Amino acid sequence: MFRKLLSRSAATPRVAPFVVFLLLTAGQGSFGPASAYWFYLVKTLVGLWLLLEIRPLVPEMRWALSWEAVAVGVAVFVVWVGLDPWYPKLTLSKAVAANANPNLVFGPNSPLTWFFLLVHIFGMTVVVPPLEEVFYRSFFYRFIAQSNFLAVPLNRFLPLSFFGTSILFGFEHSQWLAGILCGFAYQWLVLRKNRIGDAITAHALTNLLLGLWVVYRGAWNFW
C-alpha cells in the first residue's frame, strides 16, 4: 500500500523519504537529552525501511564502486576535518558537542553508549548516503532544470543546478563550507560517471571515516 502511494509520481519516492528523515531529525532531543539517541535509532530504522520501499521505484539508486568514488570519499573526509577550525559554523560547537556525546547521557563506555555510537555510524554510513544522494543528485539537480526531471541526463552539466544543489546541500550541515565543497565533489562524480552510485559510495566512505574519527578523537561536533 505504501509503495503504491510512493509510485504516484516520479518525484515522490525521491523526495518523501528525505522529508520524513528530516522531520524525524527535527525531533531529536525534543524530549530530553536521551531522546536524541532514541530518535536517531527510530529515524535510522525508518530510513532503512524507506530505502527498501523505494528501491524498485528508483532504478538509479544502486551503489557503485570505483577508484574515483574512493578517492573523493577520502578527500572529502580530509577537507571536512582539515577546514573545521578555519570558519564559523551554523551552530555553536560546544552545544553540539554536549548534545552529541552519549558518554554524558548514558555514562562513559556504558553498553548504551556503545550501542548508540554503532547505531549512529550505521545510520550515517548506510542510510543517509542513498537517501540524500537520491534527493539531491537524482531529483533536485535535475528538477531545477525542468519539472520533467527524468528527461534530464545525469551527466549533463547545468551551472545553476550544480551550484544551487551544492549550496543547499552544504547549508543542511553545521559545517556549511565543507558541505558545499562536498556537494561539488559528489556532483562531479555523478557528472563523470552518469550515475549516482559512485556518489553514494563516496558519501558513505566519507561518513564512515567521520564516524570513526568522532569516536577515536571525541570530535562530537562532527555528528
Nearest to 146 by CA among 160, 132, 133, 134: 160
- The set of residues, in sequence order, having a beta carbon less than 8 Å from that of 37 and lying 6+ positions away, is 102, 105, 106, 112, 116, 119
Domain range for 204 = 64-222
Per residue in 77-134, pLDDT (tens digit) is 999 999 999 999 887 544 444 567 888 888 888 999 999 999 999 999 999 999 999 9
- Cα diameter, the chain: 53
Q: Is residue 76 part of a domain?
A: yes
Report the mean per-residue pLDDT for the chain. 91
Cell readout for 66 is: 570505483
Q: Examine residue 161 and state whether it is found in any structural domain, yes or no.
A: yes
Looking at the 3D structure of the chain, how many domains does it have?
1
pLDDT in tens, 150-176: 999 999 999 999 999 999 999 999 899
Within-domain flag for 74: yes
Residue 41 belongs to a domain: no
Q: Do the domain assignments include residue 57?
A: no
pTM of the model: 0.92
